[in-house]
Amino acid sequence: MKKILNYAVVCLFWLAALPLWAENYPYRSDVLWVTVPDHADWLYETGEKAEVEVQFYKYGIPQDKVEVTYEIGGDMMPADKSGTVTLKNGRAVISLGTMNQPGFLDCRLSATVGGKKYNHHVKVGFSPEKLQPYTKLPADFNTFWEKNLAEAAKCPMKYTIEPAPEYSSEKSDCYLIKLQCFRPGSYVYGYLTRPKASGKYPVVLCPPGAGVKTIKEPKRHIYYADEGCIRLEMEIHGLNPTMSGEEFKEISSAFGNYLVNGIDNRDNYYMKKVYMACVRAIDYLTSLPDWDGKNVIVQGGSQGGALALITAGLDKRVTACVANHPALSDMAGYKAGRAGGYPHLFKNYQGMDTPEKINTLAYYDVVNFAKQIKVPVYMTWGYNDNTCPPTTSYIVYNVLDCPKEALITPINEHWTSEATEYGHLKWIQKHLK
């Protein structure tokens, strides 16, 4: 890796970034688990043995003579080792063993105090920089997507734009965008924020996380526009964010699980429209008169991180990419006996392991788009994430053949702090042309 910033902070006080919140970590909990691997960065070489000191506190008091049950298994895999330890002055040491192949071990903990059961876990890595994808690159991958891009480009770019002053600031204006994409009559929505001051600005596309949902907090990242970027936060299902809760419930119930819709055929998979919608959003952003004519950035987390990387691999206008814990990454990895990427099709769904579905996934998997990226990429991820596991984030990072940087925050589950998210903008600003 070109640059890895390892934050092996056992108690990551991310709430300190919000000075108005005088809260302890973890947020409003009576108990605190602390897990301390005997390597500060939580990383080991394959064949090297790992140990973790476990600490457990209630009301800040070390719990003595409490029995902790543990199970140890591969990342997202069933446990193959279990046991118990008894806390002495709130502490005990667990031997995790080792791995002979690159990957992660997950130590899953539980303790019962006052009749209530408390759970925690900690993952450590073994030579993860050597992880490689199970998913193969189809020979006609680029030809397939060039054809789809050409077809999608035939759809006229029609859009409406309405002021959304409730999401504006003193420095920035917000607008609700309805944008036609993929085929006539198919639309997506987004909130566009842009600086009020006249000038030329970089554009930033932010695709959404997973789920059938609308854009709930368009003002959360207003600092992008306040600090000189035009930013479009989009949704992917054609759901107007201004509709009532009752309307949204009625319409969204018809979607089912969109991540498996049409998965038997690469031409009919639901996500083709989504990928093309992201490119159409770039069409729109680069048509704006206040775009600086140079900088096009994609940025997102989870499914949004996946779509950011995918768009960077598809669209040569993209000049930089920021992605945290990307979903849709090496999704068939379970067939290699280790974690695959969200939505964990081979773990949580029946009937997914067919040649047709595996073939389709290869055309839509992040790892194969990551191989196409030539612009700078900044990735962030944590180790304790069970939604987008560290195994798949490392795999994506490892296949990138471009300028790349990573911020690794081992204790993080499927979240990023406000400080980390603001750091994405700072990274973008440093990489403007």
* Active-site annotation, residues: 302, 385, 414
For residue 244, CA distances in Å to 160, 238, 427, 430 come to 20, 15, 37, 40
Map tokens 């049409």 to a residue: 262
Token digits of residue 345:
């099709």
Burial (Cβ within 10 Å: 0-12, 13-18, ≥19) of residue 423 = middle
CB atoms within 10 A of CB 293: 9
For residue 19, the tally of other CB atoms under 10 A from its CB is 7
Q: Please, how many CA atoms are within 13 Å of residue 334, restricted to the half-sphere of its CB?
A: 19
Tokens of 172: 């920035």
> Identity (one letter) of the amino acid at 252?
S
**Helix 355-364 vs helix 141-153: angle between axes, to the nearest 10 degrees?**
70
